[in-house]
Amino acid sequence: MQENEQVWIRRALIAAEHAGSRGDVPVGAVVVHDNTMQLAGVGWNMREAAQDPTGHAEIMALRDAARTLGRWRLDDCTLYVTLEPCTMCAGAIVAARIRRLVFGAWDPKAGAAGSIRDVVRDARVNHQVEVIGGVCEAECSRKLLEFFAEQR
Q: Which residues, other chains included, contact 53 with Cβ-Cβ below 8 Å and sequence gap of 6+?
A: 47
Q: How many whole angstroms separate alpha carbon 139 and alpha carbon 91?
A: 26
Q: Tell me, yes or no, if 58 is annotated catalytic.
A: yes
Choosing from 3, 48, 58, 139, which is the catalytic residue? 58
Report the amino acid identity of residue 87. Answer: T
* Rounded Cα gap, residues 65 and 41, in angstroms: 4
Between β-strands 77-83 and 100-105, what pairing exists: parallel, antiparallel or unpaired? parallel
H-helix or E-strand spanning residue 73: none
Both ends of the chain: CA-CA distance in Å? 35
Contacting residues for 139 by C-beta, under 8 A, at least 6 apart: 9, 10, 13, 104
> Among all residues, which ones are annotated catalytic?
58
